[in-house]
Chains A and B, each alone.
Chain A
Amino acid sequence: MSRIDRRFAELHAHGRTGLIPFVTAGDPLPGAQVALMHALVEAGADLIELGVPFSDPMADGPVIQHASERAIAKGVGLRQVLAWVRDFRVRDATTPIVLMGYLNPVEIHGASRFASEAVEAGVDGVLLVDCPVEESDTAAPLRDAGLQRILLAAPTTTDERLGRVCEAAEGFLYYVSFAGITGADRISHDDVRERVAAIKRRAKTPVAVGFGVRDAASAAAIGAFADAVVIGSALVDRLAEATDANDACARARDFLAPIRAALDARGR
């Protein structure tokens, strides 16, 4: 069983909602990346989504765009991200890691080479924002190497396609709560609840909800029906001004603690 599947099985067994923080790798402090990942786990992260910086993040709002720009300016790229995951795995063998990013860095690195290096480093899943299920050939080497393919579903996903997405999804299905870019605030909890219920009836994997989760209240509201919540821009924003590694870790803990508590209070 993969780390991702095992983690969701544990969550399910304990009746807990998963907490998935997203951080842009290398932002704000490349030197603090591995410490920050451990701090996220200590603060209650069940799975970490690590954003691979890309120069043209078409689906991201200003917060993650700027985080990417800062990281790229400091020389962070795919190779560096894999090195951090390898380093993280020295002390943490269980927390699943999903790389989230865009296709071009993977293509340029070489999909097969990337896949084997990622598996070797301890990456569990890959979410390629600009690689929909229709372009699966492109992602085939990743799956062949043993990486789980995390797919997205959106409010605009048609019923017919949802079937294909549910069929192809591995690890968990990431439901994008509204039509828009990361960091926007257009969520309607009622719409999302209905939609997630419909997806859960068809999906073989757990369903995580992202976009629009920004604090304890929104996490609790979404966590009431999702298997996990993804929280990205609000966290990236909070980390942006960190002065050193200790400060970054403290900010991560302060930010996630009330969210973790809200999710757990609901579970009890």
Chain B
Amino acid sequence: MSKIEDYSAFPDARGRFGDYGGSYVAETLIAPLAELTAAYETLRVDPAFIAEFERDLKYYVGRPSPIYHAERLSNEVGGARILLKREDLNHTGAHKINNTIGQALVARAMGKRRIIAETGAGQHGVATATVCARFGLDCVVYMGETDIERQKINVYRMKLLGAEVVPVTSGSKTLKDALNEAMRDWVTNVADTFYIIGTVAGPHPYPQMVRDFNAVVGREARAQMLEQYGRLPDVITACVGGGSNAIGLFHAFLNDRDVRIVGAEAAGDGIATGRHAASLAAGRPGVLHGNRTYVLCDDDGQITETHSVSAGLDYPGVGPEHAFLKDTGRAEYVGITDEEALAAFHRLARTEGILAALESSHAVAQAIKLARQLPKDQLVLCNLSGRGDKDVHTIAAREGIVL
């Protein structure tokens, strides 16, 4: 691929990031997507829209989230300094709310009163139910039966917030199937329904729009680094499921060529076992959920079931911009196993008093690996995308503890 001058110039007008992205959807959805693209193109440069988004991020979400030097963890690891971007401190406990506020504002501007969403870990479902309660919109969340079982607390949280949670029983009964079902709902109810996708996947303009709403993470982090440390970090890292928290952090740094970028995918039981969700590390280019990207599938093109201890990373595709960053070499993507993520979870809890989400624990594990190899004067910035309260049951169960 030819040298990229400016990474912020993507996607192009057709929603392409190099060979990836695009709009691979059924005919019925072309018009609503065009309508959404047109609305979003207007709103994203509308000062009133931007001001309202920023006001909500400040007063409702609690932004900016701090950058925290995990000093005891860094000392214990014995290498570069590990800095955490604390998205876990946001209202509802993860980065997901940045995007749902943005999209709810778009929905409201477009006059759509019924919101649908898919969710895996339940964090996006909770963040969607939250903004729907706040804006007075109807909310239906699709969630795989398997995920409902392992994320009971979030299911109840959504219900408390007034959302209807619809169990999805098709396919592997996880996030990808919830996304299929939400698309089917949207095709059927296009006239009054707005689909809030929870990650940088789906057809254009979703990968761009979700990125833009999460890009506040990297913009803040870049300014905070300059202010607190007088320089940019040497390495930045984040976990990659669909890739929204990762692109949120990465985007502001893409043109800072000296900043190394590393994404941590879920390697589950290990990539060699086949039981993982590492689409970039072990997948191949294909088409899933409306865009061309790396997917995990067999030789017949059937999407394969994935595995990760963290429901939010259990996805066989990945946002098209990450596929592009991989192919151009701007970012590296590596796998973190369940065991490594769990070890990082415990280590962060005991050294810093922070319970990280299992998804985010993959990023912490990667930050630890990186820090260990780097000299003390280097800075590793890790996106702590969410808090771990939702995962306490999963961790207890894995350790044979009945709560």
Give the B-binding residues of A (Cβ under 8 A): 53-62, 65-66, 69, 72, 77-79, 102-109, 129-132, 134-135, 138, 151-158, 161, 165, 176, 179-181, 184, 186
Contacts and interface: CB of A to CB of B under 8 A. Distances in A.
A161 B284 CA distance: 32
A157 B31 contact: yes
A78 B300 CA distance: 6
B139 interface: no
Nearest to A60: B184
A210 B300 CA distance: 27
Interface string B273-304: 00000000000111111101001010111110
A104 B288 CA distance: 7
A65 B34 CA distance: 27
A56 B32 CA distance: 21
Contact of A54 (B26, B188, B302): B302
B169 to A, nearest CB: 9
Given A58-B184, A107-B286, A130 B302 contact: no
13 contacts: A53-B302, A77-B300, A79-B300, A104-B297, A107-B287, A107-B301, A108-B300, A108-B301, A154-B30, A157-B30, A179-B187, A181-B184, A184-B188
Contacts of B211: none
Nearest to A106: B301
Given A58-B180, A130-B24, A130-B290, A180 B300 contact: no
Residue picked from A58, A61, A181, most chain B C-beta under 10 Å? A58
B79 interface: no
A108 B298 CA distance: 9
B166 to A, nearest CB: 13
B284 A108 contact: yes
Contacts of B29: 156
A66 B169 CA distance: 11
Contacts, number: 131
Interface string B245-277: 000000000000000000000000000000000
Contacts of A138: 24
B299 A132 contact: no
B3 interface: no
A102 B26 CA distance: 10
Interface residues of B, number: 39
Contact of A62 (B30, B170, B183): B170
Interface in B21-47: 22-32, 34
Contacts of A135: 22-24
Contact of A61 (B24, B32, B34, B184): B184
B303 A58 contact: no
B301 A130 contact: no
B307 interface: no
Contacts of B25: 58, 130, 132
A60 B184 CA distance: 8
Contacts of B180: 56-58
Contacts of A153: 27
Contact of B297 (A108, A151, A161): A108
B176 interface: yes
B14 interface: yes
Given A104-B288, A154-B31, 10 more contacts: A54-B301, A56-B180, A58-B26, A104-B286, A105-B302, A107-B285, A107-B301, A132-B26, A154-B26, A154-B28
B77 interface: no
Given A69-B170, A103-B287, A108 B184 contact: no
Given A56-B180, A58-B183, A152 B299 contact: no
Contacts of B24: 103, 130-132, 135, 138
Given A58-B183, A107-B285, A179-B188, A134 B303 contact: no
Contacts of B153: none
A134 B12 CA distance: 14
Interface in B74-132: none
